[in-house]
């Protein structure tokens, strides 16, 4: 019985780690770097304050809406279908150098 409980606990933890927030750098490396490193199709460039300032003026909610719905050439969810809003916030702040 103890083995079954332990296996269930390990399985539960393994499944829940996907729901845990990822750090901004990890999300950037996984899903954002290709476009944001060079500003492809008008994407704000990585740690370029001038590119990010107007977006931050609109607020984080507006940026999250753009990520979730897609914008210009960026697909919805920004090519990170398993990312949460918290993951996106971390990636946005990382890319903006905050």
Topology (CATH level 3) of domain 21-96: Cytochrome Bc1 Complex; Chain D, domain 2 (1.10.760)
pLDDT over 90, % of the chain: 74
pLDDT band at 20 (very low <50, low <70, confident <90, very high): low
CA-CA distance, 81 to 31, in Å (whole number)?
9
**Token digits of residue 94:** 């990382």
Domain ranges (residues) in the chain: 21-96
Q: Is pLDDT of 96 > 60?
A: yes
**Token digits of residue 58:** 């609109």
pLDDT tens, 48-79? 999 999 999 999 999 999 999 999 999 999 88
């Amino acid at each position: 019985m103890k083995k079954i409980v332990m296996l269930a606990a390990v399985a539960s933890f393994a499944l829940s780690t996907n729901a845990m927030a990822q750090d901004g750098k990890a999300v950037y490396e996984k899903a954002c770097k290709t476009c944001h490193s060079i500003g492809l199709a008008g994407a704000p460039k990585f740690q370029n304050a001038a590119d990010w300032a107007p977006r931050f003026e609109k607020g984080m909610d507006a940026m999250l809406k753009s990520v979730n719905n897609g914008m210009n050439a960026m697909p919805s969810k920004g090519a990170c279908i398993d990312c949460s809003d918290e993951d996106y916030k971390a990636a946005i702040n990382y890319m903006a150098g905050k």
